[in-house]
Homo-oligomer: A and B are copies of this chain.
Amino acid sequence: MEALTRKQRELIEREDLILQAAHDLLLERGYHGLTMERIAKAIEYSKGTIYQHFRCKEEVISALASRYLEKQLAMTERAASYEGRTRERIAAIGEGLEIFIRLHPDEVRILQIIKSETVSEKASEECQAAMKAVEFQAMATVAAIVHAAVLDGDLELAPDTPPEAVSFGLWAIVSGGHANILRDLPFQEVRIGDPYAVTMNTCDILLDGYGWRPLSTEWDYARTRERARWTLFAKEARRLCGEECPVRAAEAR
Give A residues with C-beta under 8 Å from B: 30-32, 109, 112-113, 115-119, 121-122, 132, 135-136, 139, 143, 161-162, 164-165, 168-169, 171-177, 179-180, 183, 185, 190-192, 195, 198-199, 201-202, 204-210
Chain B residues with CB under 8 A of A180: 168, 171-172, 175
Chain B residues with CB under 8 A of A117: 30-31, 109, 112-113, 116
CA distance A175 to B171 in the complex (A): 11
Q: A118-B118, A176-B176, A209-B209 are in contact. Are A201 and B113 (CB under 8 A)?
A: no
Who on chain B is nearest to A31 by CB?
Answer: B118
Q: Are B161 and A201 in contact (CB under 8 A)?
A: yes
Interface centre among A119, A165, A171 (most CB of B within 10 A): A165
CA distance A174 to B180 in the complex (A): 12
Q: Are A202 and B121 in contact (CB under 8 A)?
A: no
Q: A116-B116, A165-B201 are in contact. List 12 more A-B contacts (CB 8 A).
A: A113-B118, A115-B183, A116-B119, A164-B190, A164-B191, A168-B192, A168-B199, A169-B199, A171-B180, A172-B172, A172-B177, A172-B199
